[in-house]
Structure 1
Amino acid sequence: MKFIIYNLLLLAAFSYCNPNGKSLDSLLTFVDDDGSPKIVYASPTMGEKNLERNVSVSVLFSKSMNINTCVQSFSMTPNTLGFFDLSDLSLKFTPSSLLPYGSYTYTITKNCESKDGIDLKDVFSANFSVGEAVNAGSNPQVTGIFVSAGTVAACNAGTAARVNILSSDYINVCMGSPTINEIEVIFDRPMDQSSVLSAIQITPNISANFVWSSSTSLRIIPDRPLNGNIRYSVSISASASDSLNNRLLSPVFKSFLVGSENLVPTVTSMTITNGTLADCLAGIGTITNILVTSVTNGCLGNPINNPIVIDFDRPMNRSITESSVSISPSLTGTFLWSVGDTRLTFTPDAKFSYGIRYTITITKNAISANEINVSQNVSYSFIAGGAIGDAPVVQSVGVVSQGCSNSFPGTGSATGGNWLLPQCFWDNSLPILGPTSYYFRSGDTGSGLSSCADVNTDNFKIIFSKYMDMNTTLNAIRLRRMSPPSTIVQLSSWVWRDCQATFPFGCRVLELAFAEQEASCNGPVFGNASTSGDFNLLRSDDTPSGFPFYMITVDTSAKDTMGASLQSTFNFTMEAK
């Protein structure tokens, strides 16, 4: 413990500065008649201002004191840590660190007593200020936290308003204005920059550059745009202090929602070429945006292939975006970027398949060049060559000897008829009559080899409603004898008519010649070399009425060129005469 002899200093001071010329003895008469000690000198004095931050408090007593009681009676407001230098007549309090700027009051109560046990005559108290009086003891304030907010268009154009989130909860804050959204914090006085930087926090955390544009303005410049549809909070703890070391009175906490997702990449168009088959083959199909137009006649190729062109509203990350694009049914092809990485062109390795709906999906993994993902998965589709529509049906049935049409559609008879009818037996606008209503003449005359020549009165003609796949349709047809005795019937030859000359090809009219093993020109071996096969059914012109019956069947394995199966199995029964 240090001891400072303040009375000697005081005597020297009084000897040097005695304006009234009083004797020294009279000045040292400090003890009242009742013997109570008094404080005869104190520093800082009442109301002193603009003191240095290293100021100490010193007190001189009028008589020897029980100094421990005086230490216990000493207090300082605001509460301040420090240490004492003591003697019988003096007390000095030195703060353990530099005092913050502001107002202070120190007090010694009457419990401070002399060595002979007499209390201090009066409570002693004095106040002083450290630093300039205008700011001493007052607290700095945050007057504004500014961000850009507005419509998507305003954000993109850089014309969004700068709003103070202290005054309201904003939910339309820009991701960028136009590319980033600067956050600016304004204080009402010059601030201690290091304390502010350590006190400020943004959640979710962002990587940013902190720039002081003035002693009262801090600019927070993010390294990348804010994330869309995310609420950010800005907090400043009370440890932030001004240049005079006054701290914020209380922490600041405000938040805002990035509701204007102006930098989220979007698909602005997705185009393919569509049109008639002739236009597509000629390379003059129409480029159509499937985002806004339903396409059911997309070109299979235009003329070789039909690229899918996807346009984004901003540059994209090439590799990640390509991996986010899928096409169903799956296609192989090549990607090509253009227009500053805003246009992605996919060129298939092969033509599209007729009648197939293709779906293009872009997942939310697709990301822009500045690392912002699309907001959600998007899917768009088109049909190549035309919609499949209704399933194919048998439109009409007859025999070749009739006046049954060689092209779609055929016309039937409401009353039935024979092999010489000027139209088909039946068309799908009519009900199917009983088997005795339809007569055909078998080609076999019972005259041996002379019966092997084809006769068209037992060659059947089937007209379909759509262009049919020739293989599946031919394999779906069979002819059976329905009345005993049973026979063996096989297809001998066929001719397709009313065919498409261009892709996807296919035909609508089929003529069929059948042979029966039991026919007169056939021997033990059905269709032997000597006869070159039979093209006629067993003789029937000598059979009684109501006999025999044959049924021609087309099952649902028959498909049209677009892959649609026959609507239902078709059965048609006739009488041979």
Structure 2
Amino acid sequence: MKLVGCNLFLLFFFNVCSPSGKNLDSLLTFVDGDGSPRIVVASPTMGEKNLPRNVSISVLFSVPMNINSCVQSFSIAPNTLGFFDLSDLTLKFTPSSLLAFGSYTYTITKNCESKEGTDLKDVFSANFSVGEAVNAGSNPQITGVFVSAGTVADCNAGIANRVNVLSSDYINVCMGSPTTNEIEVVFDRAMDPSSVISAIQISPNISANFVWPSANHLRIVPDRPLNGNIRYSVTVSAAAADTLGSRLLSPVFKSFLVGSENLVPTATSITIANGTLADCLSGIGTITNILVTSVTNGCLGNPTVNPIVIDFDRPMNRSITESAISISPSLTGTFLWSMADARVTFTPDAKLVYGTRYTLTVNKNAISANEINVSQNISYSFIAGGAIGDAPVVQSIGVVSQGCSNTFPGTGSVTGGNWLMPQCFWDNSLPMLGPTSYYFRSGDDGNGDFNIPDACADVNTDNFKLIFSKYMDTNTTLNAVRLRRMSPPSTIVQLSSWVWRDCQATFPFGCRVLELAFAEQEASCNDSLFGNALTSGDFNLMRSDNAPAGFPFYMITVDTSAKDTMGASLQSNFNFTMEAK
């Protein structure tokens, strides 16, 4: 179609001449066969480049339109503020300020309607570029976001790989490589530094220094290491612009996990002195790491006190770390730091208490010199027993069928258990539980015949073992031991035989382990002849496997008439109650 006296191209400006003096709106009416309106001409056209920064967008419709619906259907990306000049056939958008250099796309959707309410035939969209030819039609891009990632060893050595988190999700990023982990952002062209820095957000937030080694390369240098086991996200908004004002086409968002917790402080050793009484008193106790070795004979003093030394793998904050260290039962003492604040020595004010289990805890408030907390609470314990105190005590108790030691010291179970355990029932570093926590099996099966000696043979599941802390006088100690049934019906129990173990062959002699076999008159082998000649006496307690019904309780006691070889009496009466199963 051709208009008289007018060039069709001039229609874009909506102020061209019209034949016979008629208004342009009344002359230009183009309707498709289906009655749908369409866009006849639009400027800028698709793919135009090197346009001025004051360019406007103009559209001519084929029929009179509900122009308000067309305004609402119009959009431009990146989002740009501006104003409209409108008529029934035309829409013109003029930006409020000069456009930045870069690529733009404007769109009019089918919600743009004619005055009769018919939708625009097709969605219309066109792209154009503002700026020099070298940049026309393109926006700056981020080519890489780089961090260090690798093993703990590589991170600490500063040889971890620099990886691009744009290309993959990395879960082994270093806390520091070796001290801090720089985040580098690389662009495909020279950038405007202020717009880039204001467009970058890192979460969780970090304080950092921004360094530009070159116009397209930004180094973000954190003030402190990244936090371990935390996922960080890096966002660069579309406000980041190059030196010509062209902005990123869309925001960039990437994240990574700091999975190589290479700077989390850890305790590498907790050492104390342990050994024999003579070694401890001579100051030559063996220094042992309780992180890897169970200590049940820690020196009470080596020779006067027993310092506890904690080594960390890096320098620590003194005051905060000291407040994070606790010892139970509580000890007063002093802290001394050495090895460039990687070692702390706690020296108690007094000797440790024999037979006491001490538990040392370093809680997660402990912090390194570069302000990184330990990852979790750590607790380790030891038993003080290398330098034995003045008064003897029962150090542990069990039955012979268990794996209870034949020499001092014995080791008990925290939770108790039965006659088949690999250790004793209890030792004096542990709390004493209720009688239902310890149970033994009586040797009598209820079917014994005193005429058949083998039927009444001794069974070691009811032979008790006492371990003392010192070498004991065998006579006074044996006479101080009693066993009695606590639950009805009452019975008559007597000592049948005994064996002393862990004895010293030189003055003042004495032994530390006593095994005891008891007989119960009501046991089946005894019948009415308690200790008869045919059986040489029963060496077992009465049947306890619930036939007859009921699981009785027994108490073994050692009173203070028991003495060690130096004449010291047992520290206090010892009572231990068990259930016969």
Aligning the two structures, in what range does the TM-score lie when normalised by the shorter sequence?
Answer: 0.5 to 0.7
Task: Report if aligned partners of 2:362, 2:379 keep a CA contact under 8 Å in 1.
Answer: yes
Q: SS of 1:98's equivalent?
A: coil
Tell me the distance in 1 between the aligned counterparts of 2:184 and 2:481.
85
Distance of aligned partners of 1:83 and 1:201 in 2 relative to their CA distance in 1, 3 Å threshold: closer
Task: Report if aligned partners of 2:149, 2:163 keep a CA contact under 8 Å in 1.
Answer: yes
Residue in 1 aligned with 2:228? 228
Distance of aligned partners of 1:300 and 1:47 in 2 relative to their CA distance in 1, 3 Å threshold: closer
Aligned-pair CA distance for 1:370: 1.0
Residue in 1 aligned with 2:383? 383
Task: Report if aligned partners of 2:267, 2:310 keep a CA contact under 8 Å in 1.
Answer: yes
Distance of aligned partners of 1:98 and 1:354 in 2 relative to their CA distance in 1, 3 Å threshold: same
Equivalent residues in 2 for 1:27-426 (5 A)?
Answer: 50=50, 53=53, 95-102=95-102, 130-386=130-386, 389-391=395-397
Q: SS of 1:255's equivalent?
A: strand
Aligned-pair CA distance for 1:365: 0.9
Q: What amino acid sits opposite 2:217 in the alignment?
A: S
Distance of aligned partners of 1:238 and 1:557 in 2 relative to their CA distance in 1, 3 Å threshold: farther
Equivalent residues in 2 for 1:448-527 (5 A)?
Answer: 467=470
Distance of aligned partners of 1:392 and 1:57 in 2 relative to their CA distance in 1, 3 Å threshold: closer
Aligned-pair CA distance for 1:390: 2.4
Q: What amino acid sits opposite 1:203 in the alignment?
A: S
* Structure 1 segments unaligned to the other structure (5+ residues): 1-29, 59-68, 86-91, 107-125, 394-430, 432-462, 480-497, 510-552, 570-577
Tell me the distance in 1 between the aligned counterparts of 2:291 and 2:467.
36
Distance of aligned partners of 1:325 and 1:77 in 2 relative to their CA distance in 1, 3 Å threshold: closer
Deviation by residue 1:203-260 (Cα, 9 ceiling, x = unmatched): 1111111222222111111111111111111111222222222222222111111111
Task: Report if aligned partners of 1:468, 1:506 keep a CA contact under 8 Å in 2.
Answer: yes
Aligned-pair CA distance for 1:289: 1.2
What is the TM-score normalised by the length of structure 2? Answer: 0.53
Aligned-pair CA distance for 1:508: 7.3
Tell me the distance in 1 between the aligned counterparts of 2:204 and 2:290.
38
Tell me the distance in 2 between the aligned counterparts of 1:565 and 1:392.
17
Tell me the distance in 2 between the aligned counterparts of 1:127 and 1:181.
41
Deviation by residue 1:556-575 (Cα, 9 ceiling, x = unmatched): 56788896854669xxxxxx
Q: SS of 1:155's equivalent?
A: helix
Aligned residue pairs, count: 370
Task: Report if aligned partners of 2:481, 2:559 keep a CA contact under 8 Å in 1.
Answer: no
Task: Report if aligned partners of 2:558, 2:575 keep a CA contact under 8 Å in 1.
Answer: no
Task: Report if aligned partners of 1:392, 1:564 keep a CA contact under 8 Å in 2.
Answer: no
Task: Report if aligned partners of 1:265, 1:367 keep a CA contact under 8 Å in 2.
Answer: yes
Q: What amino acid sits opposite 2:470 in the alignment?
A: Y
Q: What amino acid sits opposite 1:283 in the alignment?
A: G
Tell me the distance in 2 between the aligned counterparts of 1:215 and 1:273.
62
Task: Report if aligned partners of 1:467, 1:506 keep a CA contact under 8 Å in 2.
Answer: no
Deviation by residue 1:77-131 (Cα, 9 ceiling, x = unmatched): 779666799xxxxxx997531222146799xxxxxxxxxxxxxxxxxxx998532
Deviation by residue 1:270-300 (Cα, 9 ceiling, x = unmatched): 1111121111111122111111112222111
Tell me the distance in 2 between the aligned counterparts of 1:127 and 1:335.
72
What is the TM-score normalised by the length of structure 1? Answer: 0.54
Tell me the distance in 2 between the aligned counterparts of 1:231 and 1:356.
44
Tell me the distance in 1 between the aligned counterparts of 2:323 and 2:127.
74
Q: What amino acid sits opposite 1:238 in the alignment?
A: A
Task: Report if aligned partners of 2:395, 2:468 keep a CA contact under 8 Å in 1.
Answer: no
Q: SS of 1:390's equivalent?
A: strand
Tell me the distance in 1 between the aligned counterparts of 2:136 and 2:285.
81
Tell me the distance in 2 between the aligned counterparts of 1:80 and 1:555.
94
Q: SS of 1:170's equivalent?
A: coil
Distance of aligned partners of 1:258 and 1:47 in 2 relative to their CA distance in 1, 3 Å threshold: closer
Distance of aligned partners of 1:308 and 1:192 in 2 relative to their CA distance in 1, 3 Å threshold: same
Task: Report if aligned partners of 2:366, 2:373 keep a CA contact under 8 Å in 1.
Answer: yes
Q: SS of 1:265's equivalent?
A: coil
Aligned-pair CA distance for 1:385: 2.1
Q: What amino acid sits opposite 2:257 in the alignment?
A: L
Task: Report if aligned partners of 1:158, 1:178 keep a CA contact under 8 Å in 2.
Answer: yes
Deviation by residue 1:129-177 (Cα, 9 ceiling, x = unmatched): 5321121221221111111111111110101101111111111110111
Task: Report if aligned partners of 2:102, 2:247 keep a CA contact under 8 Å in 1.
Answer: no
* Structure 2 segments unaligned to the other structure (5+ residues): 1-16, 28-42, 59-66, 86-91, 107-125, 389-393, 400-442, 444-465, 483-502, 513-555
Aligned-pair CA distance for 1:263: 0.5
Aligned-pair CA distance for 1:357: 1.7
Which stretch has the larger CA shift, 376-385 or 260-269? 376-385
Tell me the distance in 2 between the aligned counterparts of 1:391 and 1:44.
97
Tell me the distance in 2 between the aligned counterparts of 1:245 and 1:304.
77
Tell me the distance in 2 between the aligned counterparts of 1:81 and 1:506.
103
Tell me the distance in 2 between the aligned counterparts of 1:222 and 1:384.
47
Tell me the distance in 2 between the aligned counterparts of 1:465 and 1:84.
101
Larger Rg: 1
Task: Report if aligned partners of 2:321, 2:365 keep a CA contact under 8 Å in 1.
Answer: yes
Aligned-pair CA distance for 1:506: 13
Which stretch has the larger CA shift, 363-372 or 194-203? 194-203
Identical residues among aligned pairs (%): 70
Aligned-pair CA distance for 1:33: 9.9
Q: What amino acid sits opposite 1:99 in the alignment?
A: L
Tell me the distance in 2 between the aligned counterparts of 1:138 and 1:265.
48
Distance of aligned partners of 1:341 and 1:143 in 2 relative to their CA distance in 1, 3 Å threshold: same
Tell me the distance in 2 between the aligned counterparts of 1:554 and 1:56.
104
Tell me the distance in 2 between the aligned counterparts of 1:216 and 1:464.
78
Distance of aligned partners of 1:277 and 1:163 in 2 relative to their CA distance in 1, 3 Å threshold: same
